[in-house]
Structure 1
Amino acid sequence: MNQTTLLPAPLSEIEHWVFDLDNTLYPASCDLFSQIDWRMTAFIAESLSLPPDEARPLQKALFRRHGTTLRGLMVEHGLEPSAFLDFVHDIDYAPVLACDRLKAAMAALPGEKLIFTNGTVRHAERVLERLGLDGFSGIFDIVAADYMPKPDPAPYASFVKRHAIDPRRAVMVEDIARNLVPAAALGMTTVWVTGSPEWAKAGSEGDHIHHATDDLAGWLETRMAKAPDTPGSS
């Protein structure tokens, strides 16, 4: 799957571009999540005094019940989140490589750019550094969301309020299909970046996904090329 149709609103009217981080700004083939995934298992095993073969299924069950493993540990086991977040994001970021096309396409976007992630600010900063991307107006992370993960609607409302976003003039880009449901409900234009693991495709049916692509840089390039009303163009 590649580029789809034009945005329903002219790009000159888009004021905010909202990007998820992991498996969105870098390809899922970097496989950072597998590192994080196994560190979550190790943390659970150590914290709850469980053997790994019991910690692993518990981790997955917590994820299914609560949207993130962290949320499940907080709700069901009273976990203090900072130690967990520090531990699971202590990973090797070397697989994330800069993409000149993405850098150029992002730099050309009109309006403000923001990160909205279930990760942490520090994790986002490390990824952005590896990608060579800058110019973001803010990073709204799991701490800012009061540890309530996407796709719960509450952090979307908080995010929009904090950054004074008019959802009707915002685009949200995300690799997990169900995380676009609340964005579309608020009135945002949504872009689903495909190519993530099968579980990320759940909830991809429905009209909450307006555009889909397996090449974010190419999609952004095409949007800008087809936007003659963008400020500064003829």
Structure 2
Amino acid sequence: MSADLTHVDTWLFDLDNTLYPADSGFMDEVVRRMTGFVQKVTGLPHDEAFALQKAYLAEHGLTLKGMMLNHGVDPLEFHAIFHDISLEMLAHDPQMLRALERLPGRRLIFTNADDVHAERVLKRLGLADLFEDVFHIGRAGYEPKPSPEAFARMSAAHDVDPAGTAFFEDSQRNLEPAAGLGMTTVLVGPHAPACEAPFVHHKTDRLAPFLMGAHVKGAA
């Protein structure tokens, strides 16, 4: 059944593994570089560095947050390691372009990545001009999703009315605080159909067809 999103006029999107397919392999390279950075800072062997990286992600919502708190890492130095990653794995998706264009109201990005990464990826995907703004981790004061404070800062920056907002994410746990605020939540990715969390209102393994089929305000 097509989702009824006729109440939505603010469209809030995560970036990585949401606006492009998770199976692109792009985030695999991000994770690989992140593990290398953790190794360099801590001196741990690869497997232990990877385990620590994932532990910080689970505890804080972002590996960087744990590295900042426990190792004094400069976030700018951390983010710089991703700025020259090849974007060849990311491709233009004409259907995604059309799907986003048909959404009435404003479109925003809400990402735990930094501004440079977000700009590079959006330009590569051909979607940069479709979004009013990017609320990135720097603007959140390095307070990552799913922290309620991250949502509060994003909402204040853009005067977001949760009742008229739909939030699209590939991370299930990042949707829980959004639902708590009153947003409509959509879980995206191959894992989504199996999700049974009550705070996930809609699920789709492919975002563009979901958006194309959704009932939206003003559509014929």
Distance 1:193 1:54 in 2: 30
Q: Percent identity?
A: 43
Count of residue correspondences:
218
Query: What are the residue-to-residue correspondences of 1:34-183 with 2, within 5 Å?
Result: 34-133=28-127, 134-183=129-178
1:100: how far off?
0.5
| 1:209 aligned counterpart, secondary structure | coil
Does the CA-based 8 Å contact 1:44-1:59 persist in structure 2?
Answer: yes
Does the CA-based 8 Å contact 1:16-1:111 persist in structure 2?
Answer: yes
Distance 2:41 2:85 in 1: 19
The code of the aligned residue for 1:80 comes to D
1:120: how far off?
1.1
Distance 1:6 1:40 in 2: 37
- Of 190, 211, 217, the match for 1:220: 211
Does the CA-based 8 Å contact 2:90-2:124 persist in structure 1?
Answer: yes
Structure 1: gaps (5+ residues): none
TM-score (norm 1): 0.87
Distance 2:45 2:201 in 1: 44
1:222: how far off?
0.7
Distance 2:144 2:102 in 1: 30
TM-score (norm 2): 0.92
Cα deviations by residue, 1:71-101 (Å, 9 ceiling, x for unpaired): 1111111211110011134311110001101
Does the CA-based 8 Å contact 1:105-1:220 persist in structure 2?
Answer: yes
The equivalent residue for 2:218 is: 230
1:21: how far off?
0.4
| 1:17 aligned counterpart, secondary structure | strand
Residues 1:27 and 2:15 aligned together: no
The code of the aligned residue for 2:160 comes to I
Cα deviations by residue, 1:138-166 (Å, 9 ceiling, x for unpaired): 10011111111111111111111100111
1:210: how far off?
0.7
Does the CA-based 8 Å contact 1:172-1:189 persist in structure 2?
Answer: yes
Distance 1:5 1:153 in 2: 30
The equivalent residue for 1:14 is: 8
1:69: how far off?
1.0
Does the CA-based 8 Å contact 1:178-1:204 persist in structure 2?
Answer: no
Cα RMSD (Å): 1.9
Distance 1:205 1:153 in 2: 22
Distance 2:64 2:112 in 1: 10
Distance 1:45 1:125 in 2: 27
1:205: how far off?
3.2
Greater CA deviation, 115-124 or 61-70?
A: 61-70
| 2:81 aligned counterpart, secondary structure | helix
The code of the aligned residue for 1:212 comes to K
The code of the aligned residue for 1:159 comes to M
Distance 2:102 2:48 in 1: 48
Cα deviations by residue, 1:104-158 (Å, 9 ceiling, x for unpaired): 1111110000000011111111111111112211100111111111111111111
Cα deviations by residue, 1:40-76 (Å, 9 ceiling, x for unpaired): 1111222233333432222222222222110111111
* Structure 1 pair 156–204 and aligned structure 2 pair: CA distance change class (3 A): farther
| 1:79 aligned counterpart, secondary structure | coil
